[in-house]
Structure 1
């Protein structure tokens, strides 16, 4: 039984607040939702087809239901209540079906493969006709969890469309959420989509996109914090490409060469994450203290540590210099070597100060967004006005 109305859902991106690279060595990392979101619209289609439109990456595809049904025998084992991991055979079958040659899999191809895997696995024997459009405020390849937000919105939409979870639009509210056990199912299915895209993901990104707020990650254990204050930030994308694999290998080499120097730095990064968590918990609990000054100091110390372990970059130094000249505090987020940085904004910051800093950063060739971290996870929208406004850009 599928829904007979169009559904709008959205899921947030993510940034790492503290713990980059140290997390590889069993230290704590704090991942937090970023209120730049991926949006999805799904609705019934009357012509016995499945239509997928991904305007951010220039993909528009359509398949007849009869063609897709020929794939079902290969996915019979997936037709259970529990999410099932994609196998190499599954991926080979889907690549052949979609016409993707081995060795030429790009962002567009991976997004299509993830959709097909989730569609066939979730929707089961009676494949529904549908029209799905996904668009995003998140840049791809910037370490902001764009693929996880995509997987979460797709899994949520298909589970709701096929009545595997409830339809929260029955409630009269602007932003609607699913029950805890349903969110858990969404998260586990989205993780399978992430496996299609990334092979062996940690599960952090899809968990942040599902649950929102702040998550603590250590040695494979993901712990959502019950309550967290929303913090205003400026997110800056330096647009400098980098390889996470190479950066991680560089830290490993340096640690091997100078263990007595690097191990204390990684332990200090762990302590920063622990202290940040404590301050954020005090902030939301209303415990008195100069919380923002502490958060700013932690940002500055961690940025220096990240430079010490070799994952800084002149573009990130420039972000820190520009924002510091306006009394603001910044650090890289993610793997470093370029990529993105976050700048904390106090609640009483002068808007003109923020605007001037953003203009200077833009003049450097960077992209800037003023947004919040600690945003809600996956949502249904009872009103499509926000989604319609965003779709005008495509």
Structure 2
């Protein structure tokens, strides 16, 4: 099988508003981060399939003949079956990588997702290739790193298999796929997320595919086509947390104090709706300081609500205090209980303030990046369009 080498990327995600409330039927707004995962796929003639994941110190190779045995007795799948995992293939792969018991480590999950999509798309005609992936996203921080990885895998392998064309035309540096192709990429990325997480919502891979902002309500994911690009600070407190435990904690509070907590959930829902309205206004009329004033107030109100729900943490309080001392407004993003927070930067915020704030947060023991939200989803790149540092890392393998 002949195919061209490819270079793709997909963004991470943050929850702007609605975390935890979304579990109880309220709206959540998820946004793309301008921190991306990059994947380089290279055709080879070695008779081997290799995957290189330097972020998690994983470097694996298999003979094509060895992998072909895993596809025996497997039938091709129809387009409408893509959303359902091939349970038999998953079982064989888990045995193959020695991951038959309980929870999987990051290496095993990433390997399973790759092999599943690769074998499912190519089936009997397995090509020799090397996949190298490097990410700007920290793993396990609730920023959609696994989804960005799955989206990149789906896009690159779908192109290599001929299921979708490359969107890059001559002289293009960066290009995106059409809506129909994006839907197929998203479907296969969701398969990867099911391999990794078991029962994902589909929000993370949808953000990685479409980018921008998505509204999530009762299982329905609606991409919003027009959103402004907003500058933020993204802070990782590096405090580990269990999403499952935090979701259960909120549920217990609601059951114990329904008359108190249900209005809080309604208020968070109204925050998401108001924020969406303001962001849409910012794309259709001149952006004013008042737009940013409202966004900052919504951030403050939502952070207080999240503390009321019981998902705050002293490190997140520190984040809010440190940034407020510089006139900036922050909230947690994701599950809470530690994890990550976002800080809105106004257009007029001076560089010296940004850099001083980043240093203050690093002095607290946190990791902090200046980035943006609302950027594009999965993209195909020419090597000229990718940062030299990223390309240098990918070209080592």
The normalised TM-score by structure 1 is 0.96
How far did residue 89 of structure 1 move? 2.9
SS at match of 1:193: helix
How far did residue 163 of structure 1 move? 1.3
Q: Within 5 Å, give how 1:281-320 maps onto structure 2.
A: 281-286=280-285, 290-320=290-320
> CA contact under 8 A between 1:156 and 1:186: conserved in structure 2?
yes
Aligned residue for 1:129? 128
How far did residue 98 of structure 1 move? 1.9
Aligned residue for 1:280? 279
How far did residue 384 of structure 1 move? 4.6
Aligned residue for 1:331? 331
Aligned residue for 1:321? 321
Following the alignment from structure 1 to structure 2, what is the Cα–Cα distance between the partners of residues 389 and 368?
19
> CA contact under 8 A between 1:83 and 1:189: conserved in structure 2?
yes
The CA deviation string for residues 85-117 of structure 1, in whole angstroms up to 9 with x for no partner, is 224432221011123342352111000000011
- Structure 2 gaps of 5+ residues are none
1:345 aligns with 2:313: no
Following the alignment from structure 1 to structure 2, what is the Cα–Cα distance between the partners of residues 27 and 79?
34
SS at match of 1:157: helix
How far did residue 226 of structure 1 move? 1.2
> CA contact under 8 A between 2:27 and 2:215: conserved in structure 1?
yes
The CA deviation string for residues 244-301 of structure 1, in whole angstroms up to 9 with x for no partner, is 0000000000000000000000000000000000000000111565100000000000
> CA contact under 8 A between 2:383 and 2:391: conserved in structure 1?
no
Q: Within 5 Å, give how 1:54-69 maps onto structure 2.
A: 54-69=53-68
Q: Within 5 Å, give how 1:8-47 maps onto structure 2.
A: 8-47=7-46
Q: 1:104/1:298 Cα in 2 relative to 1: closer, same or farther (>3 Å)?
A: closer
Bigger shift: residues 118-127 or 198-207: 118-127
How far did residue 73 of structure 1 move? 2.5
SS at match of 2:16: strand
Q: 1:245/1:104 Cα in 2 relative to 1: closer, same or farther (>3 Å)?
A: closer
How far did residue 151 of structure 1 move? 0.3
> CA contact under 8 A between 2:39 and 2:132: conserved in structure 1?
yes
Q: 1:225/1:171 Cα in 2 relative to 1: closer, same or farther (>3 Å)?
A: farther
Following the alignment from structure 1 to structure 2, what is the Cα–Cα distance between the partners of residues 158 and 284?
35
Aligned residue for 1:183? 182
Give the alignment's Cα RMSD to 1 decimal: 1.5
Q: 1:51/1:358 Cα in 2 relative to 1: closer, same or farther (>3 Å)?
A: same
Following the alignment from structure 2 to structure 1, what is the Cα–Cα distance between the partners of residues 241 and 287?
41
> CA contact under 8 A between 1:31 and 1:208: conserved in structure 2?
yes
Q: Within 5 Å, give how 1:356-371 maps onto structure 2.
A: 356-371=356-371
Aligned residue for 1:154? 153
> CA contact under 8 A between 1:75 and 1:120: conserved in structure 2?
no
Q: 1:189/1:381 Cα in 2 relative to 1: closer, same or farther (>3 Å)?
A: same
The normalised TM-score by structure 2 is 0.96
SS at match of 1:78: coil
Q: 1:388/1:76 Cα in 2 relative to 1: closer, same or farther (>3 Å)?
A: farther
SS at match of 2:75: helix
Following the alignment from structure 1 to structure 2, what is the Cα–Cα distance between the partners of residues 10 and 384?
14
The alignment covers a number of residue pairs equal to: 393
1:197 aligns with 2:196: yes
Aligned residue for 1:102? 101
How far did residue 354 of structure 1 move? 0.7
Q: 1:382/1:318 Cα in 2 relative to 1: closer, same or farther (>3 Å)?
A: same
> CA contact under 8 A between 1:79 and 1:122: conserved in structure 2?
no
How far did residue 319 of structure 1 move? 0.4
Following the alignment from structure 1 to structure 2, what is the Cα–Cα distance between the partners of residues 74 and 339?
44
> CA contact under 8 A between 2:48 and 2:61: conserved in structure 1?
yes
> CA contact under 8 A between 1:79 and 1:121: conserved in structure 2?
no
1:268 aligns with 2:263: no
